[in-house]
Each structure stands twice: as C-alpha cells, then as structure tokens.
Amino acid sequence: MWGCRTLKIPIITGPTAVGKSEIALKLARLVDGEIISVDSMQIYTYMDIGTSKVSKEIRNEIPHHLIDIVNPDEDFDVKKFRDMALESVESIISKGKKPILAGGSGLYVEALKYGIFEGPSKNKTLRKALTEVEEESPGALRKLLFAIDPIAYEKFGKNDMIRTIRAIEVYISTGRKISDLWNERIEDGRFITFVIERDRKELYDIIDRRVEEMFKAGFIDEVAHLIDMGYSTKLKSMRSIGYKEVVQYLEGILSLEECMNEIKLLTRHYAKRQLIWFRKDENAVWLNLSEGEDRMVDKILKILNWGAL
C-alpha cells in the first residue's frame, strides 16, 4: 500500500457534458480505482435524470462516492463536501485502491485543492440588512459587489446571493476583498486538476443532444414526482438549471419547446462559465479530447506517475 500523503490524486474536471465521467471510468478500470463525485447536484436523491448521474449498473461495477447522499431539501455546503470527499479519499486508499475525483463544480474543486476560506464570523444583523436592501432593490448587491470586488463578482453567478452577501460581509467586517483572502490559502499538492475540453461547437451539440435525451428518459416525470413528494419548487435544488425550467413548464409558464430551448441555452452558458472558472487555476493541466480518450488517459497516468506505485 502507498501513503496518502505522497500519492498524487487526480481531479477530472471541465465543462458540463464534455466527457469527464467517461475519462474517469476508463481510468478507474485501468488502475482499480473508485470515483468520488465532485458535483453539487448529484448529491441529491431522487434527482437522477436532470443531474446526468451515471447508471446504477456502472456504480455497481465501479464504486462511486458522494452521489445520493442528501435529500433535495437538506442543507449541504462546500465544507461538508470537502470533509466527506477527504474521508472518501482516505477510505479508498485504505483498501489499496486509487481515488479518482470527477465532476465540474468549480467551487468544490477549489475547496479540495486550496481548502475552505473561513473568514470572519457571520453577522446576522448585517446579513438581514443586506437581504432587505436586495428585496427593496433587486440587483443592488451585485452592483455593490462589482464596485468592491470585481474578481468575486465575476466568479459568482448572478443568482448566487449567499456568496454575494458573504463577500460584502467580509469586506465590511475586515476592509479586505474576499478574493484577496482566497489567494492566501495554501494549495494541497496531492491534488492535480485535469481540465477536459473539446471543440466548442461539438460541446454545444452534445449539450443539446443530452437535453433532448433527458426529456426522452422522463425528466418531466422526475420533476413532477419531486413536487408530488412535497419538495418545494423554491428549494435551491429545484431552482437549478433544468429543474426550474421544467417546473415552469408544469406551471404553464413555458411551452415544452421553450422549456427545452431554455435549458439548452442556460446549460451552454453554464459550460462557458465553468471554462472561465477553471482557467483561473494556473496549475491545472488542460487536455483536449481531440487527441482521443485513450491517449488522454495515458497522459494522465504519466503525470500521476501511478505506474511506479
């Protein structure tokens, strides 16, 4: 057995639908590995089609961790993810197997490599005041964040009020930008990020086909079932890309065609944001699928130097 502290551990990441799972599975089959999901949506039970989880047959063949670990209405944050992911890494290594992390949630990838930024304690009074400002003037906090910390503004999605409020709270409490404090974290050198990319048009075509396949597989029924089970359409999980639009279809706000087209568009935009996020990691290894999956896996193995273990 090899030591956890010296083993290089891959994080296979990249934009949605690029083919991360396929690469991770090829790698796992070659090296007797187990896969740890780095996906902020695949943590939820009952949400299978819209999150593109790998099949149960594949999970029976290759063990997967951090999939179906909380219900759609349960709180789950990046700290919980990091703690559970590191526990999974240790558990896999203790069995003499190799851990392979795979998924496209940039915040989760960052937390693994650089740890969690704790910052000052939460100020409930300030948070309440900021929330009231946003309720009275929608978009005001985004404008404020852009003024005080353009880097954080670019990193956070326009609907991510939780992290927007936190960044403003940190600035008011400390006088420092949260993006500057991020840079003071120490990188965990065990993890190597491999960003998978492919031709942009090809990626967008794959995204469009995936959305169409989701609907053929019963995506509308999946969302309707979640609502029937009592899960609120206002939950964070139910407002993610795909689920929110299907809810709007079920409520008669969107036609089926409008629903599908909106999901395709939003998913393409999300893929673009993911690529922008990953380009900020100067230590990431970029690999293009134009060279083929097998050659890509060979490159990953050489960089990890797993053959010597």
Is 10 annotated to bind a ligand? Reply is no
Is 104 annotated to bind a ligand? Reply is no
Is 24 annotated to bind a ligand? Reply is no
Tell me if 36 sits within 8 A of 101, measured CB to CB: yes
Task: Indicate the length of the chain as a whole number.
Answer: 309
Is 138 annotated to bind a ligand? Reply is no
DSSP conformational letter for 13: E
**Cα 112 from Cα 62, distance rounded (Å):** 22
Is 16 annotated to bind a ligand? Reply is yes
Q: Cβ neighbours of residue 48 under 8 Å, at least 6 residues apart?
A: 222
Residue 171 φ/ψ region, left for φ over 0, alpha for ψ in the -120 to 50 degree band, beta for the rest: alpha
255 token code pair: 């036609």
Is 232 annotated to bind a ligand? Reply is no
Is 19 annotated to bind a ligand? Reply is yes
Closest CA to 198 of 304, 293, 301: 293
Cα torsion at 139, 81, 58, 298 (round to 10°)?
90
Is 21 annotated to bind a ligand? Reply is yes
Tell me if 301 sits within 8 A of 307, measured CB to CB: yes
44 token code pair: 């939820």
Q: Cβ neighbours of residue 277 under 8 Å, at least 6 residues apart?
A: 106, 155
Question: Residue positions in the annotated binding site?
Answer: 14-21
Question: Residue positions in the annotated binding site for substrate?
Answer: 16-21
Question: Residue positions in the annotated binding site for ATP?
Answer: 14-21
